[in-house]
Amino acid sequence: MTNKKIPLYIAIVAFAAGVTASIAYSTFNKKETESSLASKQETYLVSEDCEHHSYRLKGYQFTRPLLFAEGECESKNLSDIKSEISNKLEQLKSSGVINSASVYLRIFQNGEWTSYNSNEKFNPGSLMKVPVMMTYLKMADKNPELLNKRIKYMPDDSYIPDQTFNSQSITPGKEYSIKDLLTFMIVYSDNNATHLLNERMDVAIFKQMFVDINIPEPNVSDRFYQISTKDYSEFLKVLFNASYISKDMSDYALSLLSKSDYKDGFLSAVPKDLIVAHKFGEGGTTKLHELHESGIFYISNKPYLLTVMTRGADINNLPHILNDVSGMVYKYMIK
């Protein structure tokens, strides 16, 4: 695998294929303003040995908007489902079905969470299309007409990788609005639509979003960027809380995610009428594949967030892992 680096915001479509590519890159000036950094503004004990952190957004004169709150400790109430998930994944590792995996689970109702192997990082692949979408919706908060701007798709020599799990794609020679391209990028995970959006994205807003929601700012020239399940889940947390982009834009983002037509992972294990706002992503290499999924499951009165990242030699085994974990969590949640 080559060590050549390309910008992260351009490489998002390349992540999805999980193969190396030679692409020209640009560099961007790093600009991190103190006025817009999220930080742990409030810390207090929720139990004798566990602190609770509230993450608030700076940059305003009179307010400190709450992004999300998080207990530092995993919930003991979720120990049973954690053990079930851990046992299953350890068995799969021992048998060689997977090389590794990571899981993060959070219940929105009470903020309880648990995880498995949460410190390991993975190549997110098309999961990065969610922060790209959020960047555009952040831009549209200031300029609503942006979503109506039309772009003609004229293929060029840019590298657009294939995906293992393909769906609909935009048509050469046809014009699309930004809103249309967001739909193709999120609902169908189309790399061609993503390429058009990447070329016109405000990279400064993209990078600042990571810092604002308490994720280390990505090196945009790192082709092999990695992220953990816990960190990635922050994007869906702030969408659910409507605490980073406007309420209308957050709702729109989750509505697009709820229409994702990838059904081989999480959705295979839950009732067909259950609403799940989710996104999958492929990463890794041609010899060691990665497949991930992150989503919000809208169970009545008890919505929860689940992110699962997997790595293994056979890409065809990995959707079953997503399915297994999703099924275990769903059965636990409806008890």
pLDDT for 57 equals 81
Contact 289, 316 (CB under 8 A): no
CATH topology for the 8-333 domain: Beta-lactamase (3.40.710)
Give the domain ranges of the chain.
8-333
pTM over 0.75: yes
d(Cα 89, Cα 91) in Å, to the nearest integer? 5
* Cβ neighbours, 10 Å, residue 21: 15
CB-based burial, 78-88: b 16+ in 10 Å, e otherwise: beebbeebeeb
How confident is the model at residue 314, as a pLDDT?
95
C-alpha pair distances (Å), 231 with each of 121, 136, 236: 9, 21, 10
Contact (Cβ atoms closer than 8 angstroms) between residue 330 and residue 315: no
> Distance (Å, rounded) from C-alpha 318 to C-alpha 99?
10
DSSP 187-203: HS--HHHHHHHHHH--H
In terms of Cα–Cα distance, which of 187, 242, 246, 238 is closest to 209?
238
The ranges of the chain with pLDDT < 70 are: 1-49, 159
What is the spatial distance between Cα 136 and Cα 158, in angstroms, rounded to a whole number? 22
pLDDT for res 234? 96
Neighbours of 286 (CB within 10 A): 11
Residue 177: predicted pLDDT: 98
| 55 beta partners | 40, 68
Phi, psi (rounded to 5 degrees) for 310: -135, 155
List Cβ neighbours of 9 (8 Å cut-off, separation of 6 or more).
132, 198, 201, 203, 206, 220
pLDDT digits (tens, 9 = 90+) for 30-59: 333 333 334 444 443 444 467 777 778 887
Q: Count CB-CB contacts under 10 A for residue 90.
A: 13
- pLDDT reported for residue 135: 98
Rounded to whole angstroms, the Cα distance separating 4 from 27 reads 14
